[in-house]
Structure 1
Amino acid sequence: MALFYFKAFHIVGAVAWFAGLFYLVRIFVYHVEADQKPEHLRQPFKEQFGLMEWRVYKIICNPAMMLTWTCGLIMTFLNPSYWQMGWFQAKFSLLILLTVYHIWCKRIIIKLEKGEKPFDSFQFRLLNELPTLFLLSIVLLAVLRDMLNFLYAFGGVLVFGVLLFVFAKAYRKRREG
């Protein structure tokens, strides 16, 4: 019975973590677009977006990531056979990469705070789609487990990523056109 409670909180943590990451990178977009505002508005906008970035990162992303990892690891201790399953090993690898992405976002906040622009707004928009690919992959692995052919799944996620890129380019062209 305890396993189901940890699974429920693991899912809640993952949903909050992804929501935070989606919102955080969207704020990055607005932060770099603040340079297009009139001179007297630029600094106040950048300060506000910087404050929002830190709040989202510290108040939403970090606790949600910790809840996801804690409950997930507890589930593996309650059911150690997960570690021998291919789908779980792939999911665990993706979670490590997602955590690297999470930490990388913190570095971006620091760079933006220093006035550096690591990416333009379009590149940040593309970066904002990366969690979508993680989410799709992780959910497919968790739900379909051994029924999933990893090669086809990887190909499908790759095609989905290319489609996201094409739609982002089309949206950019439409906005600028």
Structure 2
Amino acid sequence: MNLYDLARGLHILAVIAWMAGLLFLPRLYAYDAEQADKAEPLKGEMRALLRTWQRRLLKIIVNPAMILAWGLGLWLFWLRSGSGADWSFAHQPWMIAKLAGVLALSGWHGYLSAEFRRVQAGTSVRTGRFWRMTNEIPFLIAIVMVLSVTLEWGA
């Protein structure tokens, strides 16, 4: 078994879990925002349930998956360099696009985490429409990242 292939496989699994959470959490925020228009007896129960799901998704799946994706990605970076011997690949356009995507996904994750705190506090001003419109942002970023790495654009 090749250590690089093992790291790559584990990295892909971590990224899948991270992406799943980044795609689903805005949907939960949309449902939460739309509870404001509901009748009071159901609104409170549904919001409590949605906020429990949000917390669990963020704390049990999204945050750990991001940490694993980052850690395994750094390990892959190290392995690809020949244990620090050759960093020339890091300057290739495909790797720069990948790293820019990682930073963009991490920024979106940070935004969703900050919004989680606002939703929990009841101070969020975002609408269900906003969350539906922005829901696909991580997937669009992932398209660029995956294609840049698999095709090694500019190499």
| Superposed pair shares fold, TM > 0.5 | yes
Partner of 1:76: 77
Higher RCO, 1 or 2 (CA under 8 Å, sep at least 6)? Answer: 2
Contact 1:108–1:118 (CA<8 Å) still a contact in 2?
no
In the alignment, the residues of structure 1 paired with residue 146 and residue 49 of structure 2 have an alpha-carbon distance, to the nearest angstrom, of 34
1:147 CA drift (Å): 5.5
In the alignment, the residues of structure 2 paired with residue 41 and residue 63 of structure 1 have an alpha-carbon distance, to the nearest angstrom, of 32
Aligned residue identity for 1:83: A
Contact 2:105–2:138 (CA<8 Å) still a contact in 1?
yes
Partner of 2:99: 92
TM-score, length-scaled by structure 2: 0.90
More helix by share: 1
Percent identity over paired residues = 28
Contact 2:11–2:68 (CA<8 Å) still a contact in 1?
yes
In the alignment, the residues of structure 2 paired with residue 109 and residue 61 of structure 1 have an alpha-carbon distance, to the nearest angstrom, of 12
Aligned residue identity for 1:128: N
In the alignment, the residues of structure 1 paired with residue 46 and residue 133 of structure 2 have an alpha-carbon distance, to the nearest angstrom, of 22
Contact 2:94–2:154 (CA<8 Å) still a contact in 1?
no
Q: Which runs of 5+ in 2 are unaligned?
A: 82-86
In the alignment, the residues of structure 1 paired with residue 25 and residue 12 of structure 2 have an alpha-carbon distance, to the nearest angstrom, of 20
1:3 CA drift (Å): 0.5
Provide the aligned C-alpha RMSD in A.
1.4
| Number of matched pairs | 148
Contact 2:93–2:154 (CA<8 Å) still a contact in 1?
no
Q: Which runs of 5+ in 1 are unaligned?
A: 149-177
- Of residues 131, 134, 142, the one that matches 1:127 is 134
Q: Give runs of ≥4 in structure 1 deviating > 3 Å.
A: none
Matched, 1:146 2:146: no
- Of residues 113, 116, 125, the one that matches 1:118 is 125
